[in-house]
């Protein structure tokens, strides 16, 4: 009887691999706690490879701030640790100061000695995501998806100009209202709305606020609300995710 059962079950490998399981899956969602200040905690990732641009670039490196959602991007020719560390220094550390925590996957670009040493000098800590589980760096992954969709709508048919469009796409992303926080990343970072072309044509649209104290208070309140909105969004996502999951505890030596 046992042998017949084993033969029967093993003959339906394809069905078992492709059918969706009906029982609750193991493991619940554990969101990454949001930071309190801009560029305190960031996620970094690579997007690509793309077709070779006119300037010889193949990749986009993306760094996303976990509080404001502000992102810094740059087109690079190769996905090497030297190119990524140069981006991190020029576009993040020298613009916003060294972050306390940097979240990335376990790609060679992020685990190389040059990256580890640069962050060590800056007193920053690396947190690498779980292997084969990009959801650990989910915020940057979602930013990548949004930037990819935006690029696909404006790139030329020969796909040679995507790196020249990238700064405009990044600006559009940073100045758009974010669904989670309710503010644009630009406003949360600079404590003022972005100045658009219409502000030049119609100066009356400019927002003049001579009181620096009010600007600081407005920025602190907006960032506090962004922090609370992020927590609320994470709670909703966790409740939705955990609805069909069950808790499991693993002990040392379990298989």
Euclidean distance between CA atoms 231 and 218, whole angstroms: 20
Cβ atoms of 91 and 62 within 8 Å: the answer is no
**Could you state, in order of their start, the residue ranges of all structural domains in the chain?**
41-238
Segment (H or E) for 50:
none
What is the pLDDT at residue 79?
93
Euclidean distance between CA atoms 147 and 149, whole angstroms: 5
- Region of 61 (left: φ > 0; alpha: ψ -120 to 50; beta: rest) is beta
What is the pLDDT at residue 157?
86
The strand pair at 101-104 and 71-76 is best described as unpaired
Across the chain, which has 255 residues, the per-10-residue mean pLDDT values are 72 63 59 83 93 94 94 96 95 96 91 92 87 67 91 88 95 91 90 78 60 65 78 73 70 72
What is the pLDDT at residue 133?
56
What is the pLDDT at residue 251?
76
What is the pLDDT at residue 181?
85
Q: At what angle do helices 162-175 and 138-154 cross, to 10 degrees?
A: 120
Place of tokens 């069950």: 246
Cβ atoms of 147 and 62 within 8 Å: the answer is yes
Residue 43, phi then psi, degrees to nearest 5: -120, 140
Q: Report cis status (omega within 30 of 0) of the bond before 49.
A: yes
Closest CA to 44 of 77, 81, 13, 8: 81
Euclidean distance between CA atoms 14 and 19, whole angstroms: 8
Which homologous superfamily is 41-238 in?
Answer: Ribonuclease H-like superfamily/Ribonuclease H (3.30.420.10)
- Report the Cα–Cα distance between both ends of the chain, in Å, rounded: 27
Closest CA to 100 of 50, 164, 15, 36: 36
């Amino acid at each position: 009887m046992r042998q017949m059962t084993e033969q029967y079950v093993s003959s339906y490998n394809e069905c078992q691999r492709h059918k969706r399981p009906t029982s609750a899956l193991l493991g619940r969602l554990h969101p990454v706690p949001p930071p309190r200040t801009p560029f305190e905690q960031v996620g970094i990732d690579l997007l690509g490879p793309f077709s070779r641009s006119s300037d010889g670039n193949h990749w986009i490196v993306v760094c996303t701030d976990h509080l404001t959602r502000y992102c810094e991007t740059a087109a690079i020719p190769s996905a090497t640790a030297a190119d990524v560390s140069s981006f991190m220094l020029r576009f993040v550390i020298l613009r916003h100061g060294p972050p306390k925590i940097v979240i990335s996957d376990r790609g060679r670009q992020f685990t190389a000695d040059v990256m580890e040493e640069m962050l060590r000098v800056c007193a920053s800590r690396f947190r690498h995501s779980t292997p084969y589980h990009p959801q650990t760096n989910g915020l940057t992954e979602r930013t990548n998806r949004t930037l990819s969709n935006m690029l696909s709508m404006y790139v030329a048919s020969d796909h040679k100009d995507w790196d020249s469009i990238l700064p405009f796409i990044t600006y559009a992303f940073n100045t758009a209202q974010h669904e989670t926080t309710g503010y644009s990343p630009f406003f949360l970072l600079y404590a003022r709305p972005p100045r658009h072309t219409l502000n030049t044509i119609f100066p009356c649209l400019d927002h003049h606020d001579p009181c620096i104290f009010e600007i600081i208070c407005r920025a602190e309140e907006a960032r506090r609300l962004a922090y609370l909105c992020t927590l609320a969004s994470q709670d909703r996502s966790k409740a939705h995710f955990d609805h069909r999951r069950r808790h499991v505890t693993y002990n040392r030596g379990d298989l």
